[in-house]
Amino acid sequence: MLGSMLRPVGSHIPAPAGEAFDGAMPWDSRYQTELMDSGTAALSMAVGLAIEARGVSGTPEVILPAYGCPDLVAAVLFQGARPVLVDFGQEGPNLSLDGVRNAVSPDTVAVVAVDFLGLHENLESLSTLLDESGVWLIEDSAQAFPPASSTSGLADCVVLSFGRGKPINLMGGGALLVRREHSHFAAPLIEQLPRNEVSLGPVWHLKRVVFNLLLSRVFYGLLVRLSVLGLGKTEYVPLEGITRSELPWKLLNNGVNAHRHRAYLIKTYLDAFSGLDERGWLGPQRLARESKSNSNSIDFDDGKLPRLLRFPLLAPSEELRDRALDALNQAGIGANSLYGIPLPAIDGLQAQFEVTERAFPNASEFSRRLLTLPIHEDVTSDDIGRMANILGCLR
């Protein structure tokens, strides 16, 4: 149908009814779970705990990747800490280990390792590098489920998000996972946070129905044409406060079950796109190669690939990436370039950093070549064939 559009990301919100609640999460033996208002609030609280644990004399510093979600910066600034950006390594969305080594100072309290679109950061190498330094390793798993630390226990804290466009969409909320050895120290600090009850009343149910309806191709296409989603804009929004959330466990449990059972055509994707390598495109297997964490990830779908939130590709050039985006969107496929630019170039953040994006050549290059394709439950093998055809025709 004219104007219909396959949404880039976003899964159906589960019903809170149904299956008996078992409440067990794959990380329970290693981590204590605290439900929070949002992923950003959970990340900020993780930073706050690291600051308390470290007790540095100067302004606390937190190491972040130079390309990422602006909420990372919001979470750090809310704690009165200073975000210190580090470039990616070559070609992958992982922190440069040399970069991290050089950025660590006596005031560093934490390194935030982001699982980009589901690909896990290199937690093994980061944790070896930080060994005995007392600097906390925080796994930001807002885009990955389950987090790599579920099985490895490597991160001191793990952050989850249940916002729209995340692996488990509960119309908002997040979780802070605190490694059990820190529970005693963290509990009183977390206890001080205000609580916010989430009621699953008629308004919630109505919102759910409307939200799920808007995920359809026809409605999503309409929203894009009306420009009501503010698409394509990445903006910095400061964090205003941190609240715990009384999100019903049953809802989270159903979200986890729905995630486990929904369609995920990664094999179809990898087959359809296999010819692109020779033409200079890099796919998720290549982008995952640097990360050892992927090899002990649970929920394997293809060899070393953990479950992806979107299907990422690096185009041979920015010019080809931009033409691919146009062609795909013309064909009703919600492809995008995600944040588009590194953090120091984002509106509202330019004044925050003493350096520009030029200080981060790998992250800048990555941002100019990244293309992400939908891989949610409503993507069909026909869609994947069409996407492969469109990219295959570009010269």
Ligand X SMILES: *Cc1c(COP(=O)(O)O)cnc(C)c1O
Rounded to a whole number of angstroms, the minimum distance from the CB of residue 323 to ligand X is 27
Complex with ligand X: residue 41 or 391, whichever CB lies closer? 41
Rounded to a whole number of angstroms, the minimum distance from the CB of residue 254 to ligand X is 18
Rounded to a whole number of angstroms, the minimum distance from the CB of residue 357 to ligand X is 18
Cα distance between the two ends of the chain: 28
Q: How far is CA 131 from the centre of its chain?
A: 25
Chain residue whose CB lies nearest ligand X: 39
Q: How far is 237 from 257, CA to CA, in rounded Å?
A: 32
Complex with ligand X: residue 40 or 268, whichever CB lies closer? 40
Three-class DSSP category at 5: coil
Contacts of 320 (CB under 8 A, 6+ apart): 394
Complex with ligand X: residue 127 or 143, whichever CB lies closer? 143
Q: What radius of gyration do the chain's Cα atoms show?
A: 20
Rounded to a whole number of angstroms, the minimum distance from the CB of residue 218 to ligand X is 26
Complex with ligand X: residue 39 or 344, whichever CB lies closer? 39
What single-letter amino acid sits at 362?
N
Complex with ligand X: residue 9 or 313, whichever CB lies closer? 9
Three-class DSSP category at 347: strand
φ/ψ (deg, to 5) at 87: -70, 160
3: closest CA among 313, 155, 220, 320?
A: 220
CA count, 13 A, side-chain hemisphere, 203: 2
Give the pair of three-digit tokens for residue 203.
Answer: 């308004």
Please give the full DSSP string across 222-238, using - where no structure is assigned.
Answer: HHHHTT-S-TT--B---
Rounded to a whole number of angstroms, the minimum distance from the CB of residue 72 to ligand X is 6
Complex with ligand X: residue 100 or 113, whichever CB lies closer? 113
Complex with ligand X: residue 42 or 388, whichever CB lies closer? 42
Complex with ligand X: residue 78 or 264, whichever CB lies closer? 78
Rounded to a whole number of angstroms, the minimum distance from the CB of residue 57 to ligand X is 29
Which bin fits 280, alpha (ψ -120 to 50), beta or left (φ > 0)?
left
Complex with ligand X: residue 276 or 341, whichever CB lies closer? 341
Are the CB atoms for 343 and 66 separated by under 8 Å?
A: yes
Are the CB atoms for 117 and 291 separated by under 8 Å?
A: no
Rounded to a whole number of angstroms, the minimum distance from the CB of residue 162 to ligand X is 7
Rounded to a whole number of angstroms, the minimum distance from the CB of residue 36 to ligand X is 9
Whether cis (ω within 30° of 0) applies to the bond prior to 146 is: yes
Site residues (CB under 6 A) for ligand X?
Answer: 38-40, 43, 69, 71-72, 114, 140, 142-143, 161, 163, 174
50: closest CA among 158, 205, 200?
A: 158
CB atoms within 10 A of CB 344: 23
Give the pair of three-digit tokens for residue 377.
Answer: 């439950």
Write the DSSP symbol of residue 336.
B
Rounded to a whole number of angstroms, the minimum distance from the CB of residue 319 to ligand X is 27
Complex with ligand X: residue 127 or 245, whichever CB lies closer? 245
Rounded to a whole number of angstroms, the minimum distance from the CB of residue 209 to ligand X is 22
From residue 142, alpha-carbon distances to 65, 155, 291 in Å are 15, 14, 18
